[in-house]
Structure 1
Amino acid sequence: MGGFGLIVIGDEILSGKRQDKHFAKVVDLLAERGLQLSWAEFAGDDPRRLTASLRRSFAGEDIVFSCGGIGATPDDHTRQCAGAALGLPLQLHPEGRRHIEERIRETAREAGREPDFAAPDNLQRLKMAEFPQGAVLIPNPYNRIPGFSIMQGEAPHHFVPGFPVMAWPMIAWVLDTHYAHLFHREPYAERALLVYEQAEAALTPLMERLQREYEGARVFSLPSVGDAQTRRHIELGVKGKPDAVAAAYAAMCAELDKLEAEYRPL
């Protein structure tokens, strides 16, 4: 099994009508458990493109979270595209149906009436429990309308709504239920500093040497041209196995001292 991937679905994200909030939160949810996000992508509501994207991710080896498009309105295609990507038919999930009917019953009684399960709007709601054959439910603590997981193969996929209030606890539940054995499995450390008024090219030989000499540590650099609050600088650091990171960081500081570079640890 590989890493973790994220797909955020919705034309409203690509058009700028809404700003994505899932990426940062998923990074945090994984980090709390000693895990990291390997990749992320945004997809619109075009069924052809979405099916192609899911077909590629299902063919990989990563655990994938998908946010958005699992409702039952005309612009929701994720359930159908997931089935098409795998060549699986959609089926009304019995337990999913029960959850939705419970929600219909609650909503009706809150309005002071008995539920009419045969009403067109309620029949439409049941489509939200039509998942690819063999899907496993993801419970939704907000309104009980579930998401679903496809666990077959090397690339498990977990599909949740686009609403953060629903999606985030559902993703946390999936991680804690299915992947607790992966938590904090590999010790990890990160050390970084700000180097002022240095060209990135001038520091590249140092970065290359550190990357070559300290196995288990990865060097990174994030240059900034500066603004009204700070001068031009480079965030320079190492991340990976704690022992390797400590040694590489010490060597980096020593070399910066030799260069008489101005820097500040973060």
Structure 2
Amino acid sequence: MTGHLGIIIVGSEILLGKREDRHFARSRAQALARGYELAWSLLLADRLEDLVTQYRWAFAQECPFFSFGGLGATPDDLTRTAAAIALELPLQRHPEAERLIRDRFADGAEPIRIRMADLPSEASIIPNPINQVPGFQLRNGYFFPGFPQMAEPMSAWVLERDFPVRTPALQLRVLLHGQKESDWVLFMEQFCAGHPTIEFSSLPSFLASGTQIELGLRGNPPALRDAWQMLRTEIEHRGVDWEWLEEPQLP
């Protein structure tokens, strides 16, 4: 399995400022705790055509993704329909989801709540320990309700079941004092060409006392060690005043 994960958050109320998102930071922390990083994140309105387009794209990606929101039974809850359309699948009543909803709500399941058992035909359910209305998995997508108190234990269950703990990539960050990015661009290009497996970042700062650059490197230990040796040699060659912001424990 890829070491990355995508996030989709559905809700016009977030885009309109009626509510604050609580899924992104929580999901990122959950994923990182098991050694997975976020590859991308989308915040989408409750518009069917947009949801279909973005789910179609997400299903085509190599990495799995988590989707939050839009699983209720009101007209603006479009996630189940959009996911089905994106994969050209019919919606159909899922027997286990139906049983769970009827067990939970009895006569109150009809005529509205039972609609939440209508899932894309290939879906399998994700248990909901809070109110028993399940989410679902569909290929590389995992779909959770928009309520964080429900989504959190459900996504934790999925991570425990399907995402074995990985050793995360190591990273280092150094701060170069009194430096301008423009003076380092040619070296950066040579560096990136020579270390294609290393994730490289450059973040300049503009202070009253002058400019500085934060350089970040991420990768597996052998590649990171070689890359750091090249960068440190260049720093020392230029006589730059520098300091660690994050020093890795390289084996």
1:210 aligned partner: 191
Deviations 1:172-212 (A, max 9, x none): 221221232xx32x662101112233212222233223223
- Are 1:141 and 2:129 matched, yes or no? yes
Gaps of 5+ in 1: 105-114
SS at match of 1:87: coil
One-letter amino acid of the structure 1 residue matched with residue 229 of structure 2: A
Asked whether the 8 Å contact 2:116–2:133 carries over to 1, the reply is yes
2:14 aligned partner: 13
One-letter amino acid of the structure 1 residue matched with residue 22 of structure 2: K
Deviations 1:81-109 (A, max 9, x none): 111112222122221122223332xxxxx
Asked whether the 8 Å contact 2:5–2:64 carries over to 1, the reply is yes
- Are 1:188 and 2:176 matched, yes or no? no
Displacement after TM superposition at 1:30 (Å): 1.9
CA distance in 1, matches of 2:102, 2:205: 54
One-letter amino acid of the structure 1 residue matched with residue 235 of structure 2: L
| RMSD of Structure 2 on Structure 1 (CA) | 2.3
CA distance in 2, matches of 1:141, 1:195: 50
2:239 aligned partner: 260
1:108 aligned partner: none
Instruction: With the length of structure 2 as denominator, give the TM-score of the two structures.
Output: 0.87
Asked whether the 8 Å contact 2:101–2:132 carries over to 1, the reply is yes
One-letter amino acid of the structure 1 residue matched with residue 93 of structure 2: L
1:161 aligned partner: 145
2:248 aligned partner: none
Displacement after TM superposition at 1:24 (Å): 2.3
- Are 1:131 and 2:110 matched, yes or no? no
CA distance in 2, matches of 1:226, 1:5: 35
SS at match of 2:54: helix
The number of residue pairs the alignment matches comes to 244
- Are 1:171 and 2:155 matched, yes or no? yes
Gaps of 5+ in 2: 246-251
CA distance in 1, matches of 2:122, 2:57: 20
SS at match of 2:24: helix
CA distance in 1, matches of 2:168, 2:32: 12
Asked whether the 8 Å contact 1:215–1:244 carries over to 2, the reply is no
Asked whether the 8 Å contact 2:199–2:217 carries over to 1, the reply is yes
One-letter amino acid of the structure 2 residue matched with residue 128 of structure 1: M
After the TM superposition, which segments of 4 or more aligned residues of structure 1 sit over 3 Å from their partners? Answer: 224-227, 230-233
Instruction: With the length of structure 1 as denominator, give the TM-score of the two structures.
Output: 0.82
CA distance in 1, matches of 2:124, 2:66: 14
1:107 aligned partner: none
Q: Please show how residues 96-111 of structure 1 align to structure 2 within 5 Å.
A: 96-104=97-105
